[in-house]
A and B are shown apart, each in its own frame.
Chain A
């Protein structure tokens, strides 16, 4: 069955970087875009961007341009999201999610990772 398993919780200082991983299984990793969505405690959902695991192409929300980098390792069926210059308001849960559409992007997410809490604290 399809699974997305994310790396564990992180605590970082302001200005540092964090890299979250998302290991996929149960499907052809290169066939579906991976998206990253974050959610502050008790708040709504915010899309950060996507990566095409087949080509490595990315598309980032303008809000995160210059601070976020999404990469993938096809040999390990794993996607990564790195966020730099962390601020206190980056303290949120970060989710990876698999796009529903094959070899394309339609922004419908059936499968999600379990979420990774990143806490930014001095």
Chain B
């Protein structure tokens, strides 16, 4: 199985901060990387798919990038509603696997 390693596991930030979350895959997955946001008691919400594509309706302060097997989710200006846990997911091969999550505290 492909292992997805996220860092950091948690972070504290202020409203307006630029926040970066990294996900590293254990092998090449091309651009088959998605990012989800999950709030307590809710299902995950797709933010970014195919590493860099913003899902419809998602604010443009969210963006994704890739460098080899390293993927980054950036929130350009953190908002209060961005308090959540963020997960990366590889959709390259079965079983598709998720990172362990990054908790963002405001």
Contact = CB atoms under 8 A, between A and B. Distances in A.
B96 A107 contact: yes
A62 interface: yes
Contacts of A110: 46, 55
Given A108-B49, A110-B46, A44 B55 contact: no
B101 interface: yes
Interface in A68-122: 95, 97, 100, 106-110, 112-115
Contacts of B44: 45, 109, 112
B90 to A, nearest CB: 8
B95 A47 contact: yes
A107 B91 contact: yes
A63 B100 CA distance: 18
A71 B79 CA distance: 41
Instruction: Decide if the interface of chain B is mainly helix, strand, loop or mixed.
Output: loop
B95 A108 contact: no
Interface residues of A, number: 20
B88 to A, nearest CB: 10
A25 interface: no
A61 B98 CA distance: 13
A96 to B, nearest CB: 10
Contacts of B34: 107-108
Contacts of B95: 47, 61-63
A112 B43 contact: yes
Interface string A33-77: 000000000001111000000000001011100000000000000
A100 B49 CA distance: 10
Nearest to B48: A108
Contacts of A100: 46, 49
Given A62-B95, A112-B43, A114-B43, 19 more contacts: A44-B87, A44-B98, A44-B99, A44-B100, A45-B44, A45-B87, A45-B89, A46-B98, A47-B96, A47-B98, A61-B94, A97-B43, A100-B46, A107-B89, A107-B91, A108-B91, A109-B44, A112-B44, A115-B43
Ranked nearest first, the 3 interchain pairs of A and B with the lowest CB-CB distance are A107-B91, A112-B43, A45-B98
